[in-house]
Structure 1
Amino acid sequence: MELRHLRYFRAVAEELHFNRAAERLNIAQPPLSQQIRQLENELGVTLFRRSTRKVELTPAGQRYLQDVVTILGAVDDAAEQARLVADGQRGHLSIGCVGSATYSLLPQLVRELRDQLPGINVSIRGEMLAPAQIEALLAGTIDVALLRPPVVHPGVTTMAIRRDRLLVALPADHPLAGSTELRPADLRDADFVVHAGHGRSAMSGVVTGLCAEAGFVPRIRHSVEETSTLLTLVAAGLGLAVVPSPTAALGIPAVAYVPLGPGSVGIDLLAATRDLDRSTLIDRVLAVLRRVAAE
């Protein structure tokens, strides 16, 4: 039995006329009658009562028609779903994101993906440090990683989607909180709260590098993984932090933000994908991501 036998049967059952069914199927009537006979022989039941004046379904044929309609409908739906997935209009997408972009970029990105790709089920893993994102990307547990450079890994492609200026986050009552701009050298005597170091956070390396260029080693009092925790410790007066500008979107009270000068000081936000996972869906998502980041 093949799917064509089921399609032939459904056409005859719906037309109750072999000639009309043959025309509908764009085949000759004798081969159609032969195929129906073969189907009945394989099933071991009579599906149609035939006479010179009419064709009728037997009770077994009526029951068989119900299931055949369901089966062919499922086959057609499976083909349509496969086409939609291949075209990037159906499927599941998991996005990993560093803390600063979690608060500033993801809300608008998720809204845009919902509007532009309503058939895509999007899940989010926020507050992920870069090494954890790369590990998850290579394991296939996330499809797109939003993270900070450097990212050097075979099989991973990155795309810069925007550049964020660096800010100094300080307790609101800190003596430097009223400054219009700060330079790394101004932070020489400060206590620092930083993201987890030892290669676990790109921002930790940025802070170390900026301080080294200014001729000092930062006095790190606390090291944390989550951006929200970092700002909470700043608000509590336990130190200051250097953060990308979108971090201010978190809106934690009692924290002031001062641009870190000169104005060219900043850090890129990258979108990373696994080379083997590039698909129409990933390309569609990256296009939405670029548009949202530009806005």
Structure 2
Amino acid sequence: MERPELPLPQLHAFVVLAEELHFGHAAARLGIAQPPLSQQIRRLEDKVGHELFTRAPGQVALTPAGSELLPAARRALTDLAAGLAAARAVGSGRAGRLRIGFAASLALTVLPGLLRTFRDRFPGVHLDIHEMTTAPQLAALHDRTIDIGLLREPPTDETELGFSTVLREPFVAVLPSTHPLATQRTVRLAQLADSPFVLLPRTAGPTLHDQIIGLCTVAGFAPRIIQHAVEWQTVCALVETGLGVSLAPASIRRIRLKGVAFRRIEPGTARTRVAVAWRKNDRSPLVARLLATVGQDPSASPRRSGR
């Protein structure tokens, strides 16, 4: 026969009485009258099928059955208290697990400060960090394998994801240190027309790739791409070998390579956009905490990336 579950209020009353061994003292500690306490204990004894206390004038003691139940009752109450505390922490966004995708180049700009600030504010939250380019981040957000994305140039036709700008940074020319233009402080884009290019593939970040191609087109040439690399660090390493030149976000200058020169470009008005991305229907308090940390209000309508 299946044993009936024991109500937690009755267990609580049992543990307090077992500690006080006095109905009056236990009732006062529980904040109830003595008759309701006696009723709680009687109901619990009915469920157990045995008396839990011996009662004599001026004397209350645990029976063998009561002594056996007491450790399990304490564990149940402790586990419940811990579970409630954990649930409250997760529900309020003070604990849990948050999965974040980020473009590798953002480790050179916004990522360290953002993570440091978030960890300082919410030390109970475990951050699960995944390095990935823009296109995989978008797919991972849709697949719900990450909760937040930090990416470059989000698409303008996305309806299920929200985007908001974190920063905009200029482009720089990435040149081998032996390149003739490396002696100049500023490079006009048209001067790169005859140089081979090393770029990220379009599949890694379509909007950013198209933006770079567009800059070259406005400057009067179509770049001759001879090599693709998925990460900017690899692009710079290939440039260092003399394989070609590139255009990259200005933060790439923090990659210290002896054989690479980073130069400002003219016109210098072009900017690459870094955005935080999230699912619009995500009601996770952890996502709300992260968005608040980067200065966003998740209760407001997210700004579309084309605006």
TM value normalised by structure 1:
0.92
Residues 203, 243 of structure 1: 8 Å contact kept: no
Cα-to-partner distance string for 1:161-197 (whole Å, 9 max, x where unaligned): 1111111111111111122222221211111000012
Match of 1:197 in 2: 202
The whole-number CA distance in structure 2 between the counterparts of 1:198 and 1:33 is 72
Tell me how far 1:269 sits from its aligned partner.
Answer: 0.3
Cα-to-partner distance string for 1:130-152 (whole Å, 9 max, x where unaligned): 11101101111111111122323
Letter in 1 for 2:277: A
Match of 1:97 in 2: 102
Whether 1:238 and 2:243 are equivalent positions in the alignment is yes
The whole-number CA distance in structure 1 between the counterparts of 2:94 and 2:36 is 40
Whether 1:36 and 2:61 are equivalent positions in the alignment is no
The whole-number CA distance in structure 2 between the counterparts of 1:122 and 1:19 is 50
Equivalent residue runs for 1:234-273 within 5 Å: 234-273=239-278
Task: Return the match for 1:71 from 69, 76, 84.
Answer: 76
The whole-number CA distance in structure 2 between the counterparts of 1:193 and 1:223 is 6
The change in CA–CA distance for 1:200 and 1:163 in structure 2 (over 3 A counts) is closer
Whether 1:150 and 2:151 are equivalent positions in the alignment is no
Which secondary structure state, in structure 2, belongs to the residue aligned with residue 193 of structure 1? strand
Which secondary structure state, in structure 2, belongs to the residue aligned with residue 154 of structure 1? coil
Which secondary structure state, in structure 2, belongs to the residue aligned with residue 96 of structure 1? strand
Cα-to-partner distance string for 1:48-69 (whole Å, 9 max, x where unaligned): 1111011111233223111111
Match of 1:277 in 2: 282
Letter in 2 for 1:53: G
Which secondary structure state, in structure 1, belongs to the residue aligned with residue 214 of structure 2? helix
Match of 1:86 in 2: 91
Letter in 1 for 2:226: R
Task: Return the match for 1:57 from 62, 65, 86.
Answer: 62
Which secondary structure state, in structure 2, belongs to the residue aligned with residue 258 of structure 1? strand
The whole-number CA distance in structure 2 between the counterparts of 1:150 and 1:108 is 21
The whole-number CA distance in structure 2 between the counterparts of 1:290 and 1:249 is 25
Which secondary structure state, in structure 2, belongs to the residue aligned with residue 217 of structure 1? coil
Aligned length: 290
Which secondary structure state, in structure 1, belongs to the residue aligned with residue 186 of structure 2? coil
Whether 1:132 and 2:147 are equivalent positions in the alignment is no
Whether 1:179 and 2:197 are equivalent positions in the alignment is no
Match of 1:289 in 2: 294
Residues 146, 272 of structure 1: 8 Å contact kept: yes
Which secondary structure state, in structure 1, belongs to the residue aligned with residue 266 of structure 2? coil
The whole-number CA distance in structure 2 between the counterparts of 1:174 and 1:70 is 72
Match of 2:12 in 1: 7
The more displaced of 59-68 and 166-175 is 59-68
The change in CA–CA distance for 1:172 and 1:279 in structure 2 (over 3 A counts) is same
Residues 134, 204 of structure 2: 8 Å contact kept: no
Letter in 1 for 2:146: I
Letter in 1 for 2:49: G
Residues 197, 223 of structure 1: 8 Å contact kept: no
Match of 1:120 in 2: 125
Tell me how far 1:279 sits from its aligned partner.
Answer: 3.2
Which secondary structure state, in structure 2, belongs to the residue aligned with residue 21 of structure 1? helix
Identity rate, percent: 38
Which secondary structure state, in structure 1, belongs to the residue aligned with residue 166 of structure 2? strand
Question: Could you list the runs of 5+ residues in structure 2 that have no partner in the other structure?
Answer: 1-5, 297-307
Q: Considering only aligned residues, what root-mean-square deviation do their CA atoms show, in Å?
A: 1.8
The whole-number CA distance in structure 2 between the counterparts of 1:39 and 1:211 is 81
Residues 189, 267 of structure 2: 8 Å contact kept: no
The more displaced of 116-125 and 250-259 is 250-259
Letter in 2 for 1:136: A
The whole-number CA distance in structure 2 between the counterparts of 1:91 and 1:225 is 32
Letter in 1 for 2:11: L
Residues 153, 205 of structure 2: 8 Å contact kept: no
The whole-number CA distance in structure 2 between the counterparts of 1:154 and 1:145 is 15
Letter in 2 for 1:135: A
Question: Could you list the runs of 5+ residues in structure 1 that have no partner in the other structure?
Answer: none
Residues 11, 21 of structure 1: 8 Å contact kept: yes
The change in CA–CA distance for 1:244 and 1:5 in structure 2 (over 3 A counts) is same
Tell me how far 1:90 sits from its aligned partner.
Answer: 0.0
Residues 193, 234 of structure 1: 8 Å contact kept: yes
Which secondary structure state, in structure 2, belongs to the residue aligned with residue 277 of structure 1? coil
